[in-house]
């Protein structure tokens, strides 16, 4: 079994120790529901079984403590001197709001935040996290730029409303993420119409939302559209995001779908990093070998044991930040099926089928023990 350190990294080099993926939630202006989206996305990911942290660096309106009903200040650990996050609704929270003087004029907050941001995320005892959601300040100015430069983000989401100006806003928001080399996972259109709770009629208060136009303009999909619903504000004000307060509510279910879409977008990014996809996947049961021909003319070859050993599923990988090789006696591959345009799901004779191998992952593990890449590369 290879040493963990010699295995492929699950998501590149760890940028914050123990944190596997960092996703920023941004918006070009305030009041569009960015913090609401960040909060509910965090709860939805937690309810899917992930370990989730939420860092609120929205200095102009740090609303996360209110949305999660947290009033006590976090404390530094005497031994490590790291600040312990506060846990609520299954999410580990930290907010700039805990450290900002309410009386400080907004004009001071920028410079204060710029110096604080550098220590903020690294000074927190996040522990092992699958996802850290970062609630950025609105706008496209220095603070979000500085922050994004400090922590290489895995991806960013732009929140907007479907007003006419929103398209210009979303373009600026996307440009800001691009400036700091953060891949855009997609756009969330919030307050997209009003669904009458009595008669079920939909009223598009701000005009129809140009989902396709947005997608075409910034080259990223619309991941979700949420209508205006009084329950969102009520639950947020009462200290529990709707996804935690009312999990059966249609909006809460829509947030679960957003969590899935974010997962998928991150998986697809890994595939895109390679810019190649399998043209054919051939199994040789006698030799116990899988051979993949890729669209960039590379051929990779894997023993069944190697492929099974690097299974990326949560059961096999646990929550370690470094990939784990799982030894299985005489594994036999019995099937494969495509997942979206970014991965294949492998079925093993012992019934194990939770491993979704992104194309990027298949290319990464080809370089490690028990797979046989080098000799078979074109
Ligand atoms: P931002 O972070 O962009 O400034 P917030 O998330 O703080 O915006 O939301 C602003 C206000 O709008 C909050 O009172 C919030 O509860 C409310 N809100 C957000 N999204 C919705 C929605 N879909 N329906 C109803 N109210 C919403």
Task: Indicate the residue among 256, 274, 292 that finishes a domain.
Answer: 274
pLDDT at 206: 56
- Distance CA(108)–CA(105), nearest Å, equals 6
Q: Are residues 213 and 286 part of one domain?
A: no
Q: Which of 353, 261, 262, 274 is nearest to 8 (CA)?
A: 274
pLDDT at 213: 75
Q: Are residues 220 and 144 part of one domain?
A: yes
Residue 2 falls within a domain, yes or no? no
pLDDT at 340: 61
CATH number at residue 338: 3.30.2020.30
Residue 200 falls within a domain, yes or no? yes
Q: Which of 276, 326, 281 is nearest to 306 (CA)?
A: 326
Residue 3 falls within a domain, yes or no? no
Q: Are residues 76 and 175 part of one domain?
A: yes
10-residue mean pLDDT profile of the chain (378 residues): values are 35 60 90 96 95 89 90 84 92 86 58 65 88 90 70 85 73 78 86 75 61 74 91 93 96 96 85 76 91 90 92 74 80 84 84 85 77 42
- Two tokens at 371? 């797979």
CA of 163 to the centre of ligand 1 (A): 15
Q: Are residues 121 and 74 part of one domain?
A: yes
Query: Would you say 88 and 70 are in contact if contact means Cβ atoms under 8 Å apart?
Result: yes
Residue 6 falls within a domain, yes or no? no
pLDDT at 25: 95
Query: SS3 of 263, please?
Result: helix
Measure the CA angle with vertex 274, ends 220 and 17; round to 5°.
Answer: 85
Q: Are residues 300 and 255 part of one domain?
A: no
Q: Are residues 328 and 225 part of one domain?
A: no
Query: SS3 of 303, please?
Result: strand
Residue 207 falls within a domain, yes or no? yes
Q: Are residues 322 and 304 part of one domain?
A: yes
CA of 35 to the centre of ligand 1 (A): 7
Q: Which domain range does residue 130 map to?
A: 19-274
**HSE value, Cβ hemisphere, 13 Å, CA-based, for 86:** 18
Task: Indicate the residue among 274, 300, 333 that finishes a domain.
Answer: 274
Q: Are residues 239 and 287 part of one domain?
A: no
In 33-81, beta strands by DSSP E: 52-56
Task: Indicate the residue among 237, 252, 274 that finishes a domain.
Answer: 274
Q: Are residues 341 and 293 part of one domain?
A: yes
Q: Are residues 244 and 289 part of one domain?
A: no
pTM: 0.72
Residue 311 falls within a domain, yes or no? yes
Residue with CA nearest ligand 1 atom 24 = 228
- Distance CA(378)–CA(238), nearest Å, equals 60
Q: Which of 217, 363, 364 is nearest to 299 (CA)?
A: 363
CATH number at residue 269: 3.40.50.300
Q: From the alpha carbon of 135, which atom of ligand 1 is closest?
A: 2
Residue 102 falls within a domain, yes or no? yes
Q: Are residues 262 and 284 part of one domain?
A: no
| Ligand 1 pocket by Cβ (under 6 Å) | 27, 30-36, 61, 63, 138, 190-191, 226, 228-229, 232-233, 236
CA of 40 to the centre of ligand 1 (A): 11
Q: Are residues 233 and 190 part of one domain?
A: yes
Residue 4 falls within a domain, yes or no? no
pLDDT at 355: 85
CA of 87 to the centre of ligand 1 (A): 22
CA of 176 to the centre of ligand 1 (A): 22
Map tokens 């009312």 to a residue. Answer: 246
Q: From the alpha carbon of 61, which atom of ligand 1 is closest?
A: 4
Helices and strands, counts by H and E, the chain = 12, 15
Please write down the long-range contacts of 212-215, taking CB distance under 8 Å and 24 or more positions apart.
213/167, 214/160, 214/167, 214/170, 214/187, 214/189, 215/187
């Amino acid at each position: 079994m290879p040493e963990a350190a010699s295995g492929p990294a699950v998501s590149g080099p760890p940028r914050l120790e123990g944190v596997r993926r960092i996703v920023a939630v941004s918006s070009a202006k305030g009041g569009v529901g960015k913090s609401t989206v960040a909060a509910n996305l965090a709860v939805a990911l937690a309810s899917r079984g992930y370990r989730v942290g939420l860092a609120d660096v929205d200095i102009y309106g740090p609303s996360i403590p209110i949305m999660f009903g947290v009033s006590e200040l976090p404390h530094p650990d005497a031994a490590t001197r790291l600040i312990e996050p506060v846990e609520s609704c299954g999410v580990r929270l930290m907010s700039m709001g805990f450290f900002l003087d309410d009386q400080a004029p907004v004009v001071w907050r920028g410079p204060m935040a710029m110096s604080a941001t550098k220590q903020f995320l690294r000074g927190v005892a996040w522990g092992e996290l699958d996802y850290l959601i970062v609630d950025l300040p609105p706008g496209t100015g220095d603070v979000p730029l500085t922050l994004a430069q400090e922590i290489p983000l895995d991806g960013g989401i732009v929140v907007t409303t479907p007003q006419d100006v929103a398209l210009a806003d979303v373009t600026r928001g996307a440009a800001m993420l691009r400036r700091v080399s953060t891949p855009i996972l997609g756009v969330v259109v919030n307050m997209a119409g009003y669904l009458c709770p009595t008669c079920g009629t939909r009223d598009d208060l701000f005009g129809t939302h140009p989902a396709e136009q947005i997608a075409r303009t910034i080259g990223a999909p619309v991941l979700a559209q949420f209508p205006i619903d009084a329950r969102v504000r009520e639950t947020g004000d009462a200290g529990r995001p709707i996804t935690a307060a009312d999990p059966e509510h249609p909006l809460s279910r829509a947030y679960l779908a957003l969590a899935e879409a974010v997962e998928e977008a991150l998986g697809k990014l890994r595939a895109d990093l390679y810019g190649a996809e399998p043209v054919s996947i051939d199994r040789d049961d006698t030799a116990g070998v899988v051979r993949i021909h890729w669209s960039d003319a590379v051929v990779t070859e894997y023993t069944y044991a190697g492929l099974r050993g690097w299974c990326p599923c949560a059961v096999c990988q646990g929550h370690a930040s470094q990939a784990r090789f799982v030894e299985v006696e005489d594994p036999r591959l019995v099937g494969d099926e495509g997942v979206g345009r970014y991965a294949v799901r492998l079925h093993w004779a012992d019934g194990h089928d939770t491993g979704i191998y992104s194309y990027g992952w298949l290319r990464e593990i080809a370089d490690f023990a028990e797979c046989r890449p080098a000799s078979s590369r074109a």
